[in-house]
């Protein structure tokens, strides 16, 4: 029952073959079964049970359970951002996207785990502990022998340290050697919205909300083998989303199919008077085609995404899908996004600046953690902030304040904004030249192991993990990641489809076409049956 | 008699100064005036340069970026939206009314309106600034480059001169909350009712040279805002607060280091703080010291400026564009862009809606009634144009404007009130003038009645006159007896007068006023005394 897509479940409820109440109870059971994966910070089965009583038959979501990343405000339900600072924070209002899901008949099954304040790409920097990827959990189902990973391993020797710069010496491909056949290790979910990705992948809910600033939806969706949609900036309201980088944050969706993602997008998108950056044009929900086609479309393959660190398997998948599209009548051509290489550094600066600013409100006065310090107002601030934030958050605050100092502003922040404009213009130019969508990998490889991943710091990992996802946020265009097939290691490999501004539906139709062609086999739920 | 009356008035043509009761001793005043002149001459080598930042709270029902009420005087922390307390996830939404008020004001100040302006975050930690930053307009303000003409009053009405100051910028920004310090319990309490209220910050060029210039500018610009309805101008409630940047230098040399005196919340404080600061800086420099670039506060009780605590010293505000607000675009109805017109602010429509401005009203009074610019400005600033128009009909303009200025408008302006706020009925003013004309009340007692009308609301002029027993005594016999008594009791002054010291007469008249409780008809007393002393009828 839990392997159904949202669309199928809705259909069966409409036909009277399934009851929403029954489905909810199944999901609650599943949710408690996967506790070990640490996907949820706060489970809210009782909230869902209350909500489902009020659901009308005509509602879109008919009481199907959804999960929400713990950086969206939920009225009367604590919202922690996985931080000590907000450990006890109970918002007095709902984020617009949460409110809209409720209104459309979604019920809240829980608030999902994440990196503290969404700063990270592994969902391991949470005060509640790391999220674990359900695929091949504890390697119990491991099929592949060590020798078969020789490909990626040898590839790591190709690494050019100069090219890597500050990304550290750990290659994304070297992982399997170090952790191989070790049952105490597991794969990371990706992040920062890892909890939402795991919740959807394990069948604990039929869809989930996440936020994507540099790849925080697409990265975990890719690693967990689910669909991850980052809509166009301005298409979905950020009101009630506790910000990371206001100018890049986009609320988005985890789903088991492209159609599901579209159904949920229709529920949450559109202008919001509370968010002045949402577009004011009337929003008209659209359905995807039953049988979309790519005939006559021009698909761009950005050459800058063809990097040395890219694992052979992912590269192969990328090529195969490009060929498949060509075989189905699309024109596939190589394009250039020349400023891609500057994106990560630009992002570091803009992110740090906005973080420094956004975090200024956490002084322990109006809300949030307040230290036990009565010496002076300043020392109260300092201690509350020191205790409340982890070192990743504090590091970005320091960096941001440095970049914003009068003597540094031009050199760092202003320059970063100019480069961001160039990155944005790269995409504009490509689309103006007749490209309909871009096809790229979502991540360099399949999900890395926790042991390997945690050997480098947050900054290093962010720089390497977000390399394919992060420029999209700079450009504000929509992107969706869909699982294509399993690696030889039986881990999901996904590709990213990058669309044009406010042409989210066109992009999703193409994603749906690919989805229908590849018939990705979702996580078999009995794979995680050994969980308590 | 008429000559006498006008003589009395000549001696009190000194407005814009603190309360002045009774007979003014002209010679004494002119001496004081000379003294000031002399002092100014001493310090003339130093030229003060002053620029102002006026923070005017926009008259609007809601705050700049939230729907919370911006009314003054609500119970503590009852007018606070989620945004105002900076709850995580909240976003600012610009209040259209505040933009309109800013544009209207900018038009009236002759500014260039920027079709695109932007909002910035200005960061500093303070408990009454919940977000840790203020949303303001730093580099791309709503409007720039205006000019405002204002009047500086002098010692005499004829000294009144028109001056002009350049407006560098008009920007929209958020107000902060209020901190209340409980020194006994050693804690601070925060009231966020004011947090997020809309302010227009009007920044002037350093075009002022005295406290009096600055004060006059603030007084007239306040009237402009009140007329436009964009700010209620209530300085005592904090609706208008002034920061003054002050430096002194020797003409021909580069400008000196400036200090900033913050939060001046009355016209008197503007003048006093600036004058104090000028003297302080001169004295520092004359003694070989250096002026520090610092923020100072003004102590109303001592009249001194004091450096603010360390943390409020000049700091790096780490400005950053506000990412949650798109650029603010203004439109003209002639602009070609048809869609989504509802939320737009049209500059040309606002321009057409601008009411008659103070300067127009001033010109009207000058042209229609031949008033001098001092009186015209004074009447306009008291919002008394209509009252004057109504009551002056059929009266001698000079005599009535004298009366209105000195018996009424001076009294209300000392209390920082306009005509409407004074609660004095125009019919009462009309009656008082009539009684005065018929010599039924002395000027002294008219002021008592007007004071009563302002302070004891609800009573009529007649009731107050009756209750306080103020009717003028014109009885010849009583006045003659009174004069006799005074002459007997003051042989010294009589002798002085007879020796030709005309000023001695004032002392004697003063006695008559005192003895009769202000009720004696002083012009008759004046005549009787002169006659008595001339004839020697003792």
Which residues in chain B have their CB less than 8 angstroms from residue A354's CB?
A: 320, 323
User: Which residues of B have a CB under 8 Å from any CB of A?
Assistant: 82, 85-94, 121, 123, 125, 127, 130-133, 188, 190, 311, 316, 318-320, 323-326, 340, 343
Which residues in chain A have their CB less than 8 angstroms from residue B135's CB?
A: none
* DSSP assignment string, A35-69: GGG--EEEE-HHHHHHHHHT--TTSSSTT-EEEEE
What b-and-e string marks burial along A374-391, b requiring 16 or more CB atoms within 10 Å of the CB?
Answer: eeebeebbbbbbeebbbe
- Paired residues of B307 in beta bridges: B296
The residue annotated as part of the active site, out of A126, A171, A189, A192, is: A192
Which residues in chain B have their CB less than 8 angstroms from residue A242's CB?
A: 88-89
**Cβ atoms of residues B373 and B366 within 8 Å:** yes
User: SS3 letters for B369-408?
Assistant: HCCCHHHHHHHHHCCCHHHHHHHCCCCCHHHHHHHHHHHH
The rounded distance, in Å, linking the Cα atoms of B204 and B147 is: 9
C-alpha distance from residue B21 to each of A350, B5, B36, B103 (Å): 66, 16, 22, 43
Residue with tokens 């000079």: B398
CATH number for the domain spanning A472: value is 3.90.1300.10
> How many contacts (CB atoms, under 8 Å) link A and B?
103
Q: CB-based burial of residue B482 (10 Å sphere; 0-12 exposed, 13-18 middle, 19+ buried)?
A: buried
Residue A391 lies in a domain: no
Residue with tokens 């910028």: B169
- Contact call for A378 and B311, based on CB within 8 A: yes
Rounded to the nearest angstrom, the minimum Cα separation between A382 and chain B is 11
Rounded to the nearest angstrom, the minimum Cα separation between B404 and chain A is 53
Q: CB-based burial of residue A15 (10 Å sphere; 0-12 exposed, 13-18 middle, 19+ buried)?
A: exposed
pLDDT given at position A69: 98
Which residues in chain B have their CB less than 8 angstroms from residue A81's CB?
A: 88
Segment B389-410 shows an average pLDDT of 91
- Contact call for B320 and A357, based on CB within 8 A: yes
The rounded distance, in Å, linking the Cα atoms of B379 and B41 is: 34
Task: List pLDDT tens digits, range B275-304.
Answer: 999 999 999 999 999 999 889 999 999 999
Residue B336: pLDDT band with limits 50, 70, 90: confident
Residue with tokens 């709270």: B57
Residue A145 lies in a domain: no
What is the topology classification, in CATH, of domain B476-535? Arc Repressor Mutant, subunit A (1.10.10)
Residue A93 lies in a domain: yes
Q: At B28, which helix (H) or strand (E)?
A: helix B26-42
Residue B337: pLDDT band with limits 50, 70, 90: low
pLDDT at B39 over 80: no
Residue A470: pLDDT band with limits 50, 70, 90: very high
Residue B329 structure tokens:
């675009």
Computed over every residue of chain A, the mean pLDDT equals 91
Segment A378-396 shows an average pLDDT of 94
Phi, psi of A484 (to 5 degrees): -110, -55
Number of structural domains chain A divides into: 1
Q: CB-based burial of residue B481 (10 Å sphere; 0-12 exposed, 13-18 middle, 19+ buried)?
A: exposed
User: Where do the structural domains in chain B lie, given as residue ranges?
Assistant: 46-242+320-329, 356-467, 476-535
Segment B508-518 shows an average pLDDT of 84
Determine the structural domain holding residue A511 and report its residue range. Answer: 6-134+188-297+447-528
A368 in the Ramachandran plot: left (φ > 0), alpha (ψ -120 to 50) or beta? left
Q: How far apart are the first and last CA of chain B?
A: 24
Phi, psi of B129 (to 5 degrees): -120, 85
The total number of residues shown for chain A amounts to: 532
Residue A409 lies in a domain: no
Which residue, among A354, A335, A357, A520, has the nearest Cα to A440 in the 3D structure? Answer: A335
Residue A439 lies in a domain: no
Residue B24 structure tokens:
């003014």
Rounded to the nearest angstrom, the minimum Cα separation between B96 and chain A is 13
Interface test with B, best of A274, A349, A397 (most B CBs within 10 A): A274
Q: How far apart are the first and last CA of chain A?
A: 20
Which positions ≥6 away from A386 have C-beta within 8 Å? A371, A394
- Out of A274, A363, A381, the one facing B91 most closely (by C-beta) is A274
- Does A449 qualify as catalytic in the annotation? no
pLDDT given at position B471: 82
Phi, psi of B79 (to 5 degrees): -120, 60
Residue A410 DSSP class: I
Which residues in chain B have their CB less than 8 angstroms from residue A401's CB?
A: 318
Task: List pLDDT tens digits, range B473-493.
Answer: 888 888 888 888 888 888 888
Which positions ≥6 away from A19 have C-beta within 8 Å? A13
Residue A81 lies in a domain: yes
- Paired residues of A110 in beta bridges: A43, A67
Task: List pLDDT tens digits, range B182-229.
Answer: 888 877 889 999 999 999 999 999 999 999 999 999 999 999 999 999
Residue A289 lies in a domain: yes
- Does A69 qualify as catalytic in the annotation? yes
Rounded to the nearest angstrom, the minimum Cα separation between B325 and chain A is 6
- Contact call for B89 and A241, based on CB within 8 A: yes
Segment A377-395 shows an average pLDDT of 94
Segment A421-431 shows an average pLDDT of 98
Which residues in chain A have their CB less than 8 angstroms from residue B89's CB?
A: 72-73, 91, 95, 239-243
Q: What percent of chain B has pLDDT above 90?
A: 55
The rounded distance, in Å, linking the Cα atoms of B405 and B379 is: 8
- Contact call for A366 and B121, based on CB within 8 A: no
3-state DSSP helix/strand/coil percent for chain B, to nearest 5? 40, 20, 40
Residue with tokens 């002294």: B444
Which residue, among A179, A120, A114, has the nearest Cα to A465 in the 3D structure? Answer: A120
Query: Across chain B, how many H-helices and E-strands are there?
Result: 19, 16
ipTM of the complex: 0.91
pLDDT at A112 over 90: yes
Q: How far is CA B315 from the centre of its chain?
A: 32
**Cβ atoms of residues B12 and B24 within 8 Å:** yes
- Contact call for B127 and A363, based on CB within 8 A: yes
Task: List pLDDT tens digits, range A320-330.
Answer: 999 999 999 99
The residue annotated as part of the active site, out of A189, A193, A196, A216, is: A216
pLDDT at A479 over 90: yes
Rounded to the nearest angstrom, the minimum Cα separation between A240 and chain B is 4
C-alpha distance from residue A39 to each of A35, A48, A88, A123, B176 (Å): 7, 17, 19, 9, 40
Which residue, among A452, A474, A477, has the nearest Cα to A464 in the 3D structure? Answer: A452
Segment A277-291 shows an average pLDDT of 92
């Amino acid at each position: 029952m839990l392997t159904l897509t949202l669309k199928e479940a809705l259909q069966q409820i409409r036909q009277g073959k399934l009851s929403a109440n029954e489905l909810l109870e199944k999901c609650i059971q599943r949710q408690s079964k996967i506790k070990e994966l640490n996907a949820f910070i706060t489970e809210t089965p009782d909230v869902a049970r209350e909500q489902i009583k009020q659901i009308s038959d005509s509602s879109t979501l008919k009481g199907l359970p959804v999960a929400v990343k713990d950086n969206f405000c939920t009225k009367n339900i604590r919202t922690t951002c996985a931080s000590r600072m907000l450990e006890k924070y109970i918002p007095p209002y709902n984020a617009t996207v949460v409110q809209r899901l409720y209104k459309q008949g979604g019920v809240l099954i829980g608030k999902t785990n994440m990196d503290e304040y969404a700063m990270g790409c592994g969902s391991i920097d949470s005060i509640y502990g790391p999220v674990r990827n359900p695929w091949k959990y504890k390697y119990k189902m491991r099929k592949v022998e060590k020798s078969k990973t020789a490909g990626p391993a040898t590839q790591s020797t190709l690494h050019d340290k100069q090219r890597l710069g500050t990304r550290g010496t750990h290659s994304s491909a070297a992982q399997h050697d170090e952790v191989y056949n070790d049952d105490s290790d597991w794969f990371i979910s990706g992040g920062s919205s890892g909890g939402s990705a795991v919740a959807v992948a394990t069948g604990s809910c039929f869809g989930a909300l996440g936020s994507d600033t540099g790849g925080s939806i697409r990265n975990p969706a890719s690693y967990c083998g689910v669909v991850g949609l980052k809509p166009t900036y301005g298409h979905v309201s950020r009101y009630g989303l506790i910000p990371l980088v206001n100018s890049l944050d986009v609320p988005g969706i985890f789903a088991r199919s492209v159609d599901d993602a579209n159904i949920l997008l229709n529920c949450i998108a559109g202008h919001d008077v509370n968010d002045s950056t949402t577009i004011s044009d009337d929003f008209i929900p659209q359905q995807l085609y039953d049988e979309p086609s790519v005939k006559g479309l021009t698909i761009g393959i950005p050459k800058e995404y063809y990097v040395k660190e890219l694992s052979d398997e992912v590269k192969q998948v990328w090529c195969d899908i490009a060929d498949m599209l060509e075989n189905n009548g699309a024109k596939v051509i190589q394009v250039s996004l020349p400023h891609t290489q500057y994106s990560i550094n630009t992002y570091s600066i803009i992110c740090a600046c906005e973080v420094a600013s956004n975090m200024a409100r956490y002084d322990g006065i109006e809300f949030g953690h307040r230290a036990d310090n009565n010496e002076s107002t300043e020392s109260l601030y300092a201690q509350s902030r020191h205790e409340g934030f982890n070192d990743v958050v504090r590091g970005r605050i320091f960096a941001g304040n440095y970049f914003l100092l009068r003597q540094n502003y031009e050199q760092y922040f202003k320059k970063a904004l100019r480069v961001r404009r160039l990155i944005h213009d790269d995409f504009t130019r490509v689309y103006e030249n007749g490209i309909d969508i871009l096809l790229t990998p979502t991540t360099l490889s399949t999900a890395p192991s926790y042991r390997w991943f945690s050997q480098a710091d947050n900054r290093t990992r962010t720089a390497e993990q977000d390399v394919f996802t992060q420029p999209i946020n700079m450009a504000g265009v929509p992107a969706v990641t869909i699982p294509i097939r399993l690696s030889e290691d039986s881990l999901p490999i996904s590709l990213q489809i990058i669309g044009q501004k406010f042409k989210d539906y066109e992009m999703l139709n193409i994603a749906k076409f690919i989805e229908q062609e590849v018939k990705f086999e979702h996580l078999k739920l009995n794979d995680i049956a050994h969980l308590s | 008699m008429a000559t006498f009356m006008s003589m009395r008035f000549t001696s009190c043509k000194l407005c814009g100064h603190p309360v002045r009761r009774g007979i003014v001793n002209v010679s004494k005043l002119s001496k004081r005036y000379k003294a000031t002149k002399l002092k100014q001459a001493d310090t003339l080598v130093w030229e003060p340069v002053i620029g102002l930042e006026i923070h005017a709270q926009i008259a609007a029902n809601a705050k700049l970026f939230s729907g919370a009420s911006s009314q003054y005087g609500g119970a503590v922390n009852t007018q606070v939206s989620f945004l105002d307390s900076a709850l995580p996830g909240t976003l600012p939404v610009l209040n259209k009314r505040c933009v309109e008020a800013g544009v209207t004001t900018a038009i009236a100040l002759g500014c260039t309106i920027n079709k695109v302006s932007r909002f910035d975050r200005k960061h500093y930690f303070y408990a009454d600034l919940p977000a840790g930053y203020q949303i303001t307009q730093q580099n791309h303000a709503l409007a720039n480059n205006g000019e405002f003409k204002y009047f500086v009053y002098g010692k005499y009405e004829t000294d009144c001169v028109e001056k002009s100051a350049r407006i560098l910028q008009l920007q929209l920004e958020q107000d902060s909350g209020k901190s209340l310090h409980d020194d006994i319990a050693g804690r601070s309490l925060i009231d966020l009712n004011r947090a997020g209220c809309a302010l227009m910050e009007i920044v002037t060029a350093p075009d002022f040279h005295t406290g009096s210039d600055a004060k006059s500018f603030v007084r007239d610009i306040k009237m402009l805002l009140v007329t436009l309805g964009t700010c209620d101008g209530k300085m005592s409630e904090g609706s208008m607060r002034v920061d003054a940047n002050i430096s002194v230098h020797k003409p021909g040399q580069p400008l000196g280091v400036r200090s900033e005196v913050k939060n001046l919340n009355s016209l008197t404080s503007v003048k006093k703080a600036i004058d104090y600061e000028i003297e302080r800086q001169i004295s520092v420099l004359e003694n070989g010291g250096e002026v520090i670039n610092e923020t100072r506060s003004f102590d109303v009780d001592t009249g001194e400026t004091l450096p603010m605590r360390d943390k409020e010293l000049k700091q790096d505000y780490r400005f950053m564009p506000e990412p949650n607000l798109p650029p603010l675009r203004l439109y003209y109805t002639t602009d070609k862009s048809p869609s989504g017109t509802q939320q737009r602010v049209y500059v040309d429509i606002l321009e057409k809606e601008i009411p008659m401005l103070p300067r127009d009203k001033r010109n009207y009074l000058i042209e229609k009634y031949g008033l001098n610019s001092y009186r015209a400005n004074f009447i306009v600033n008291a919002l008394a144009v209509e009252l004057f128009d109504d009551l002056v009909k059929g009266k001698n303009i000079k005599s009535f404007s004298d009366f209105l200025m000195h018996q009424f408008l001076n009294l209300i302006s000392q209390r920082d009130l306009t005509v409407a706020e004074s609660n004095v009925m125009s019919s009462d003013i009309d009656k008082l003038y009539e009684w005065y004309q018929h010599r039924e009340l002395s000027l002294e007692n008219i002021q008592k009645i007007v004071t009563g009308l302002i302070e004891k609301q609800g009573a009529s002029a007649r009731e107050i006159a009756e209750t306080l027993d103020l009717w003028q005594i014109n009885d010849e016999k009583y006045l003659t007896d009174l004069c006799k008594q005074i002459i007997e009791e003051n042989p010294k002054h009589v002798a002085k007068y007879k020796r030709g010291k005309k000023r001695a007469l004032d002392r004697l008249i003063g006695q008559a006023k005192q003895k009769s409780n202000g009720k004696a008809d002083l012009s008759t007393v004046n005549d009787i005394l002169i006659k008595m002393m001339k004839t020697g009828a003792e």
